[in-house]
């Protein structure tokens, strides 16, 4: 059984995306990235992307991650904040910890395509 099926398919992905964006938009660190974004369009793309990434039959036809995030100056801290909101969302929806880990494992390789700004941390 795919991760997609194990979490409840399309309805679960929809609930997760809606809750996720509620959390992200309430985060003062992340909200500015979405100031001029068509959220309904973005959510539709996000649902398709997540569904495809975790074994659903949906086909993601959006831009690749590097193109979609180019020019946004996303830092490692921003990426980590998004991941934390995703984990909180999935936990809140009752997704088992093991499944959350599998989802994280599927999404972690995208960091290199999404993070384009240098780290905020100073080298020691």
Q: What is the pLDDT of residue 122?
A: 45
Q: Distance of CA 55 to CAs 50, 67, 114, 115, Å?
A: 9, 23, 22, 25
For residue 121, the model assigns a pLDDT of 53
Grouped pLDDT means (10 residues each) for the chain, 124 residues: 86 93 96 93 88 80 83 91 92 88 84 84 46
Within 10 angstroms of residue 124's Cβ, the number of other Cβ atoms is 3
Domains of the chain: 3-114 (1.10.490.10)
Whether pTM exceeds 0.85: no
Query: In the prediction, which pLDDT does 118 show?
Result: 78
């Amino acid at each position: 059984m795919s991760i997609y099926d194990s979490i409840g398919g399309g309805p679960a992905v929809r609930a997760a995306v809606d809750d996720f964006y509620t959390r992200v938009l309430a985060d003062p660190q992340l909200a500015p990235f979405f100031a001029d974004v068509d959220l309904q369009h973005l959510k539709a793309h996000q649902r398709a992307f997540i569904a495809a990434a975790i074994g659903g039959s949906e086909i993601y036809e959006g831009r690749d991650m590097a193109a979609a995030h180019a020019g946004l100056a996303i830092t490692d801290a921003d990426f980590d904040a998004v991941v934390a909101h995703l984990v909180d969302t999935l936990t809140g929806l009752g997704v088992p910890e093991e499944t959350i880990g599998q989802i994280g494992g599927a999404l972690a390789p995208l960091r290199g395509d999404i993070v384009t700004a240098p780290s905020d941390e100073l080298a020691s």
